[in-house]
């Protein structure tokens, strides 16, 4: 008895979760969608590229450093351009993007330096 | 005329230097009694013939001095004064030991009347005489002339360099007290041992307990050679190469030491000491007397029926003592190592530091003193260690038979402060301990390969991130 009731509530919860995700995703503006979609894809590609080095990638090395830093920068950008975040309502999205570009320039210069 | 005068003047100026360089070695001989001068004259004559200047004095002479104005007056000291209780003049136990510590040579002979003072000198040199003051070495197996206290021994140390190339055929006659070697002191060598059935006891008194010194543990004649140590300094700077903990290796700490830190162990440098329990060993009487000695250890002999099958017209004493004095006075087996050199293969300059896996060459020149000049020392057993806590490389050096020893090897793949070490301890020869410090560093940052094949995924990752940033920017700007 108890088991069937728990399993049925779990299924219901999962469905509810997926629905809320879908509706949330549908209501997200396109520019925010792009921000999350691209880096995820990129990270997957890179993992495939360096599959044999995966254990190492997870531990250290700048391969992860650059990808993850890029990812952080995008997350910050997303937070700043999201209109629902009242905290940044005074910040124009153009300014946010300019910050993002500047961060990336610095990041890639550092990476180029490490490449030798 | 003035020309002649100037030449004469020049010779007069140079004379002290010329005579100094060719001057005979001076030896101070201390006696209990001047009668020893004639009773041991053969021994002294053999020294004189080898160009030694002998200076005889009574041990109690009040004008005795070993050094003047801080410089030693003698190269060698012979103590044939067993009974002396206190030296005359400025001589005492410490000055004798200081004389030895300065690298000079000492011959000490005692007999059954040895005083505490001479026994103490022997003890300081690593030799313990029998504590029983009346004890002498007695041997009922191998004796001569029917006197069980006149021992005939031919149990010599097996060393050409100490006893000479020519084998001593006749046994050596010995009458005196025995001593044991301090087992801790590895620098003392037994040159003449007693036979296994000898013992040390007082012949006057009855033996109530077993004698403390028995058998071949008794040494009749011993020599001591103190060790020569020299630590050469690599440079005035010593670098400690340590890894730091983030994966990049670099030199983390550089410690500076003054060159004085490397001047280690100059004392006790290569003095040679001869200690004999018998003064009679050197006497004309025993030099000249024939030996009738029991044969080598046959059963009969052990049963107490010695077979007198070996007969010699003269004992081996003269040859034995002469050859020993040659060794003691550094006429044989005296080595020096000079010109320690090391460099990278293909270079001639000595670097202050090596890198791991460098190929290097090491060379050292070793010479032996022949009595008049330094001759090349030829041997095939000189080894070099590349040492840090333990030897990482141990190699036998090749020689060109002209005194140069050389080898080449690869620096191990370990970095730290290493030493080039030559530890040459050969029986009878001067001990050579050369150590030269040299740091070994890891590869520098720019000594690795520029681009590694294994790292291509990493490069790809960086460039694709840049491309990704570009594509993202375009898409983001167009989706506004």
Rounded alpha-carbon distances, angstroms, from residue B279 to A21, B111, B151, B220, B282: 112, 6, 13, 11, 6
pLDDT at position B442 is 92
| Average pLDDT across chain A, whole number | 74
| Residue B309: band (very low, low, confident or very high) from pLDDT cuts 50, 70, 90 | low
- Percentage, residues of chain A above pLDDT 90: 4
| Residue B300: band (very low, low, confident or very high) from pLDDT cuts 50, 70, 90 | very low
- Percentage, residues of chain A above pLDDT 70: 62
> Is residue B421 scored above 80 in pLDDT?
yes
pLDDT at position B299 is 43
Give the residue from B288, B274, B330, B326 showing the smallest Cα distance to B42.
B288
Per the CB < 8 A criterion, the answer to whether A3 and B452 are in contact is no
Q: Name the architecture of domain B230-264+334-446.
A: Sandwich (2.60)
> For chain A, what is the radius of gyration of the CA atoms?
20
| Residue B37: band (very low, low, confident or very high) from pLDDT cuts 50, 70, 90 | confident
Closest Cβ opposite residue A104 in set B469, B471, B480: B469
Residue B479, chain A, CB below 8 Å: the answer is yes
Q: Can you give the residue ranges of every domain in chain A?
A: 29-115
**DSSP class of residue A2?**
H
pLDDT at position B333 is 85
> Given an 8 Å threshold on Cβ–Cβ distance, is A38 in contact with B466?
no
3-state secondary structure of B203: coil
pLDDT at position B302 is 46
- Biggest CA–CA distance in chain B, Å, is 127
> Who has greater pLDDT, A24 or B8?
A24
DSSP collapsed to 3 states, chain A: CHHHHHHHHHHHHHHHHHHHHHHHHHHCCHHHHHHHHHHHHHHHHHHHHCHHHHHHHHHCCHHHHHHHHHHHHHHHHHHHHCCCCHHHCCCCHHHHHHHHHHHHHHHHHHHHHHHC
> Who has greater pLDDT, B67 or B479?
B67
> Given an 8 Å threshold on Cβ–Cβ distance, is B476 in contact with A66?
no
pLDDT at position B334 is 85
| Angle at alpha carbon of residue B380, lines to B375 and B381, rounded to 5° | 110
> Is residue A92 scored above 80 in pLDDT?
yes
Residue A59, chain B, CB below 8 Å: the answer is no
pLDDT at position B5 is 56
Class of domain B2-226+269-328: alpha beta
| Interface probe, candidates A32, A64, A67, A81, chain B, greatest B C-beta count within 10 A | A67
pLDDT for A5-60, tens place per residue?
A: 566 788 888 888 888 888 877 777 766 776 766 666 666 666 665 555 555 554 44
B 393-452 near A (Cβ less than 8 A): 450-451
| Residue B412: band (very low, low, confident or very high) from pLDDT cuts 50, 70, 90 | very high
Give the residue from B403, B408, B428 showing the smallest Cα distance to B420.
B408
B176: phi > 0 → left, psi -120 to 50 → alpha, else beta; which?
left
Contacts of residue B416, defined as CB under 8 A and 6 or more positions apart, other chains included, come to: B241, B388, B439, B440
| Angle at alpha carbon of residue B225, lines to B223 and B230, rounded to 5° | 180
3-state secondary structure of B277: coil
pLDDT at position B364 is 92
For tokens 């610095």, name the residue. A106
> Who has greater pLDDT, B14 or B193?
B193
Residue A63, chain B, CB below 8 Å: the answer is yes
Distance in angstroms (rounded) separating the CA atoms of residues B187 and B185: 5
Helix (H) or strand (E) holding B328: helix B317-328
Residue A21: both structure tokens together: 């995700």
pLDDT for B371-411, tens place per residue?
A: 788 899 999 999 999 999 999 999 999 999 888 999 999 99
pLDDT, average across residues A68-81? 80
Beta bridge partners of B67: B72
Per the CB < 8 A criterion, the answer to whether B241 and B418 are in contact is no
pLDDT at position A5 is 58
pLDDT at position A47 is 62
Residue B369: how many other CB atoms lie within 10 Å: 17
In chain A, residues with a C-beta closer than 8 Å to the C-beta of B444 are: none
pLDDT for B246-285, tens place per residue?
A: 333 333 333 333 333 333 333 346 788 888 988 888 888 8
Distance in angstroms (rounded) separating the CA atoms of residues B272 and B269: 9
Q: Can you give the residue ranges of every domain in chain B?
A: 2-226+269-328, 230-264+334-446, 453-478
pLDDT for B442-475, tens place per residue?
A: 998 888 887 778 777 777 778 888 888 888 888 8
Strands B230-232, B432-441: pairing is parallel
Per the CB < 8 A criterion, the answer to whether B434 and B232 are in contact is yes
Rounded alpha-carbon distances, angstroms, from residue B382 to B28, B66, B189, B423, B438: 36, 37, 22, 8, 20
| Average pLDDT across chain B, whole number | 78
Rounded alpha-carbon distances, angstroms, from residue B256 to B212, B238, B239, B241, B260: 55, 6, 7, 13, 12
> Is residue B44 scored above 80 in pLDDT?
yes
**DSSP class of residue B260?**
G
Residue A74, chain B, CB below 8 Å: the answer is yes
pLDDT at position B147 is 78
pLDDT at position B343 is 92
Lowest mean pLDDT among B26-35, B147-156, B376-385: B147-156
Complex ipTM > 0.85: no
Give the residue from B411, B405, B383 showing the smallest Cα distance to B395.
B383
> Is residue B318 scored above 50 in pLDDT?
yes
pLDDT for B188-216, tens place per residue?
A: 888 888 888 888 888 887 777 778 888 87
Indicate the angle between helix axes A30-49 and A62-81, nearest 10 degrees: 170
């Amino acid at each position: 008895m108890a088991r069937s009731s728990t399993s049925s509530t779990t299924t219901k919860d999962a469905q509810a979760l997926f629905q809320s995700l879908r509706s949330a995703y549908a209501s997200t503006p396109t520019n925010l969608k792009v921000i999350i979609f691209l880096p995820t894809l990129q990270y997957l590609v890179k993992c495939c590229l360096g599959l044999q080095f995966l254990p190492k990638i997870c531990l250290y090395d700048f391969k992860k450093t650059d990808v993850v830093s890029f990812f952080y920068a995008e997350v910050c950008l997303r937070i700043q351009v999201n209109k629902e975040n009242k905290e940044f309502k005074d910040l124009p999205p153009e300014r946010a993007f300019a910050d993002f570009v500047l961060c990336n320039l610095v990041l890639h210069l550092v990476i180029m330096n490490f490449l030798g | 005329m003035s020309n002649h005068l100037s030449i004469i003047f020049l010779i007069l100026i140079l004379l002290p230097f010329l005579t100094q360089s060719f001057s005979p070695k001076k030896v101070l001989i201390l006696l209990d009694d001047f009668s020893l001068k004639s009773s041991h004259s053969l021994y002294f004559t053999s020294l004189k013939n080898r160009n030694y200047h002998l200076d005889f004095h009574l041990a109690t002479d009040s004008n005795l001095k070993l050094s003047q104005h801080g410089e030693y007056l003698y190269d060698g000291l012979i103590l044939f004064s067993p009974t002396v209780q206190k030296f005359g003049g400025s001589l005492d136990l410490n000055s004798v030991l200081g004389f030895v510590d300065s690298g000079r040579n000492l011959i000490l002979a005692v007999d059954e009347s040895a005083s505490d003072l001479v026994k103490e000198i022997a003890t300081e040199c690593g030799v313990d005489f029998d504590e029983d003051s009346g004890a002498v070495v007695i041997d009922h197996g191998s004796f001569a002339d029917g006197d069980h206290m006149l021992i005939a021994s031919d149990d010599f140390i097996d060393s050409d360099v100490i006893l000479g190339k020519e084998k001593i055929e006749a046994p050596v006659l010995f009458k005196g007290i025995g001593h044991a070697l301090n087992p801790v002191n590895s620098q003392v060598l037994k040159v003449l041992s007693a036979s296994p059935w000898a013992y040390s006891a007082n012949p006057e008194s009855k033996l109530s307990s077993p004698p403390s010194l028995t058998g071949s543990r008794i040494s009749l004649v011993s020599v001591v050679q103190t060790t020569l140590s020299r630590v050469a300094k690599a440079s005035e700077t010593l670098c400690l190469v340590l890894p730091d903990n983030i994966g990049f290796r670099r030199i983390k700490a550089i410690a500076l030491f003054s060159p004085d830190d490397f001047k280690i162990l100059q004392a006790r440098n290569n003095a040679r000491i001869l200690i004999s329990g018998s003064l009679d060993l050197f006497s004309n009487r025993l030099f000249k007397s024939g030996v009738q000695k029991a044969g080598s250890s046959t059963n009969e002999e052990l049963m107490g029926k010695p077979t007198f099958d070996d007969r010699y017209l003269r004992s081996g004493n003269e040859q034995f003592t002469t050859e020993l004095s040659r060794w003691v006075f550094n006429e044989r087996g005296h080595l020096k190592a000079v010109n320690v050199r090391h460099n990278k293969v293909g270079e001639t300059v000595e670097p202050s530091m090596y890198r791991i896996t460098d190929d290097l060459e090491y060379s050292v020149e070793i010479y032996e003193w022949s009595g008049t000049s330094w001759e090349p020392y030829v041997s095939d057993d000189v080894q070099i260690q590349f040492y840090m806590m333990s030897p990482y490389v141990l190699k036998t050096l090749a020689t060109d038979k002209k005194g140069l020893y050389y080898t080449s090897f690869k620096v191990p793949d370990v970095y730290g402060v290493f030493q080039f070490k030559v530890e040459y301890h050969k029986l009878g020869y001067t001990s050579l301990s050369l150590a030269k410090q040299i740091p070994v560093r890891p590869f520098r940052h720019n000594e690795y390969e520029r681009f590694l094949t294994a790292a291509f995924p990493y490069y790809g990752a960086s460039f694709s991130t840049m491309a990704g940033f570009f594509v993202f920017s375009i898409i983001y700007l167009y989706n506004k």
